[in-house]
């Protein structure tokens, strides 16, 4: 049988069989490289259980990694929905890293600013305006009241919601899929952070061509699986300048004649985005040296 992984719980998975039921499946062997959204081939071992024999070719894989392991988030997605909020504070470093991962995965990225009914919305939108100028869709909403502004962006897409804990991903899921009853929690004002309520990735169907994957909250997003020579292509505003530096092997760090540095000096590239690139590049170089 063939099916789609609709939930990932460590080493057990819920697989929605094509034209059949949802059954609990386990991978063969000790290692598991299966992600929510994967298309798989399975063998039944009982009416409600089976084993995953193989993963079918993926159109995309969205994941993060550190020096020791990879954390698969979702497979076969066409769109990354980065959920930010006016409270708690969102991290621009995390936003930039998720955008790079989306670009490298070949997936469209949109930015949602949740809790747009709060007074901090005007300042937050101004801070995000440079990303809108880069071509990323910016969707303000208050998910507690309505998710209608987001719905047109989801039609015909397989999307994954990504963001820090407390940004309101579960509230968005509940608004899109009232039967989901995803757990939500309050924000810790003292810590300026949310509490983890989503512990595993789960796929929800919004129609024949529309799916949304909810994922656990993040506090960091490692990119150790990238190589520095591919990193600059993850910044779309850099692409027209690539190959125009004085040196063909320019890594855009401290080399003389760097076209990105000149563009930042001229205001054509945001200096903070160049700083974001360099922070990731230095981390990749340090990891490579180790």
- Please say whether the structural domain 228-289 has been given the CATH code 3.30.70.890: no
What is the CATH T-level fold of the domain 61-214, as seen in this structure? Rossmann fold (3.40.50)
Ranges 87-91, 118-122, 237-241: which has the least confidence = 87-91
pLDDT tens profile 56-78: 999 999 999 887 788 999 999 99
pTM as predicted = 0.89
Judge contact between 111 and 136, C-beta under 8 A: yes
Domain ranges of the chain: 2-55, 61-214, 228-289
Residue 186: pLDDT over 50:
no
Residue 168 has φ and ψ, to the nearest 5°, of 105, 20
Residue 165: pLDDT over 70:
yes
pLDDT tens profile 210-222: 999 999 988 888 9
What superfamily in CATH does domain 2-55 come from? Nucleic acid-binding proteins (2.40.50.140)
Query: Cβ neighbours of residue 149 under 8 Å, at least 6 residues apart?
Result: 139, 140, 141
């Amino acid at each position: 049988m063939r099916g789609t992984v609709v939930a990932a719980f460590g080493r057990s998975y819920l697989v929605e069989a094509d034209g059949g039921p949802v059954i609990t499946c386990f991978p063969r062997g000790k290692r598991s490289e299966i992600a929510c959204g994967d298309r798989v081939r399975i063998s039944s071992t009982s009416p409600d259980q089976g084993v995953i024999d193989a993963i079918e070719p993926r159109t995309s894989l969205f994941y993060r990694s550190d020096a020791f392991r990879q954390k698969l988030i979702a497979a076969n997605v066409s769109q990354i929905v980065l959920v930010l909020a006016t409270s708690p504070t969102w991290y621009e470093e995390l936003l930039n890293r998720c955008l790079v991962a989306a670009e490298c995965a070949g997936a469209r990225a949109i930015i949602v600013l949740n809790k747009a009914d709060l007074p901090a919305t005007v300042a937050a939108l101004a801070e995000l305006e440079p990303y809108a100028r880069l071509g990323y869709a910016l969707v303000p909403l208050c998910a507690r009241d309505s998710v209608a502004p987001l719905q047109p962006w989801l039609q015909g897409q397989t999307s994954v919601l990504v963001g820090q804990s407390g940004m309101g991903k579960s509230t968005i899921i509940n608004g899109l899929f009232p039967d989901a009853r995803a757990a939500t929690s309050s924000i810790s004002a003292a810590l300026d952070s949310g509490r983890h309520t989503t512990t595993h990735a789960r796929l929800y169907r919004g129609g024949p061509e529309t799916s949304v994957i909810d994922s656990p909250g993040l506090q960091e997003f490692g990119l150790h699986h990238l190589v520095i020579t591919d990193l600059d292509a993850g910044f779309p505003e850099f692409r027209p300048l690539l190959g125009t530096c004085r040196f063909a092997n320019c890594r855009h760090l401290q080399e003389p004649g760097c076209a990105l540095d000149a563009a930042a000096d001229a205001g054509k590239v945001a200096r903070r985005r160049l700083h974001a690139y360099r922070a990731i590049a230095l981390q990749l170089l340090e990891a490579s040296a180790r």
